[in-house]
Amino acid sequence: MVAFTYLAVALSAVARSLAAPAADPNADAPDFELNGDRLMCRQDYNQNYKTSGNVNFSPTNNGYSVTFSGAGDFVVGKGWRTGTTRSITFDGATTASAGTVLVSVYGWTTNPLIEYYVQEHTSNGAGSAQGQKVGTVTCDGSVYDIWKHQQVNQPSIQGTSTFWQYISNRQTKRPGSGTVTTSCHFDAWKALGLNLGTHNYQTLSTEGWGNAGGNSKYTVSGS
């Protein structure tokens, strides 16, 4: 895969490759809105990548929907051009009828170059979890297994590189609504020596491969 000049995302797994993200020239500058007594940062980044199959992605100003069938490899979602220790709330559902499908809080950092996942739903129980299981953590009332995996000479947001993936995989999959407190995962990773760097983009995303079929629809907010 190659870097796109409009909207793109980075993703990886053992049998798959990566696509480096590029700036979206049509995205609005990030701003804020008051939701009750909480100041929310509006989403300013869309993910939209596929290699083959039927993938119909429809982003909105506060979320996205996607239907897919026969998908060889895709990832779509909604989020922020710059990640941080925000709490991300999502409301919606995912249905998987074929292939591997996952819903994650997903992002990258640099210095060090890290690709990370907080997997909320995995149709096969593993999603991108691979490599070495290094611990567990309880965040937002749920137990997650923590994995690390090294990608060697693979495409990334900094070109072909060797880098680590950090993955929190929820033991009980959740295809519907919930909240991910990213600081809980980041702190758990750090305690295990899995250090993040300077944040790049951060999204809630739906990903699929292996002739994936199904649909997702979510609204997304962060505070």
Q: Is 207 a catalytic residue?
A: yes
* Full residue range of the structural domain in which residue 198 is found: 32-212
| Confidence at 15, pLDDT banded by 50, 70, 90 | very low
The tens digit of pLDDT for each residue in 123-142 reads 987 777 778 999 999 999 99
Q: Is residue 219 part of a domain?
A: no
Q: Is 120 a catalytic residue?
A: no
CATH number at residue 183: 2.60.120.180
Q: Is residue 197 part of a domain?
A: yes
**Number of structural domains found in the chain:** 1
With 0.85 as the threshold, say if the pTM is over it: no
Of 12, 14, 93, which is closest to residue 49 (Cα–Cα)? 12
Overall residue count recorded for the chain in this entry: 223
**Catalytic option among 24, 44, 73, 115:** 115
The tens digit of pLDDT for each residue in 17-34 reads 333 343 333 333 344 444
Q: In angstroms, what CA-CA distances link 14 with 26, 118, 198?
A: 33, 18, 25
**Catalytic option among 24, 73, 120, 207:** 207
| Confidence at 153, pLDDT banded by 50, 70, 90 | very high
Q: How many CB atoms lie within 10 A of CB 202?
A: 26
Average pLDDT, the chain: 83
Q: Is residue 160 part of a domain?
A: yes
